[in-house]
Amino acid sequence: MSILPYLLLILLEIHSSKACKGCLSIDEYNIDKIIPKFKASLIKFDIAYPYGDKHDEFVKFADEVTKVKELIVGEVGVKDYGDKSNFELAKTYGINTKEDLPKVKLFLGDLNEEPIPFINEFTVENFRDFVRDNTNLYLGLSGCVETFDKLAKEFMLSQDKNNKYNQVLEVAESVVGKEKVSAKIYLQFMKKVIDNGVGFVQQEQLRLNKIIKEGKINSKKKEELGERLNVLHSFKLAKDEL
């Protein structure tokens, strides 16, 4: 059988592949040296030179969490031709053919425990939700403040949201600089939830995403709305908290 189709496939993948900033290259030789050293590891099993929308979303998430020390984002490049690199490793985690790729799994520090499979659409927001729902890691997104992220969650769980709002207002009065700007956004969202109900969170997310995706705003405004979206995400509760 001619090897030409395989060579063409490799060249196409190399040409199309987008580097994953902040990703570690995981293979059958180093996985047991890396995964146990971190509290959580989000690993994508994919073709050797990944490309496309799914890969692009994974790359964006990896870039977003580069400063989260207890989380690593990595890729396992799987080949079903030639030396079949990492093919057996992929099979260990239920990935038997190229058609099964890409697959993302969350390891929680122990290779003896079954990793948690990611089964949602490949988007930055869904990766973010997945890690947050299955760990207690703080991801520290742009525009967010850890103290107010925790207060936002407490606010959403509170039966007396007006009282909680007043408590947060007191905390906000003591912060300065960029944190004070962020605190105002948290307070604005809390007020909106009080006035419009918890459904405001999802409605506002859809509205902001639509504005950003339409692309009719300048880069500064897009960044500003992106930070508002990050803050708004702190108001989302996990399914078992609803």
Domain residue ranges in the chain: 4-134, 146-241
Per DSSP bridges, beta strands 103-107 and 40-47 are: antiparallel
Output the six-digit token pair for 206.
């859809």
What pLDDT digit, counting tens, does each position of 204-225 carry?
999 998 988 887 888 889 889 9
Which of these, 37, 73, 41, 69, lies nearest to 57 by C-alpha position?
A: 73
Give the whole-angstrom CA distance, residue 223 versus residue 17.
26
> Residue for token digits 């987008």?
18
pLDDT at 18: 61
Q: Is 146-241 a CATH 1.20.1150.12 domain?
A: yes
Output the six-digit token pair for 48.
């050797």
Q: What residues does 76 pair with on adjacent strands?
A: 45
Output the six-digit token pair for 192.
């909106």
Backbone angles phi, psi at 72, to 5 degrees: -115, 150
Q: Is 4-134 a CATH 2.60.40.10 domain?
A: no
What pLDDT digit, counting tens, does each position of 17-71 carry?
467 777 899 999 999 999 999 999 999 999 988 989 999 999 999 998 988 889 9
Domains 4-134 and 146-241 in one fold:
no
pTM (whole model) above 0.75 = no
pLDDT at 15 over 60: no
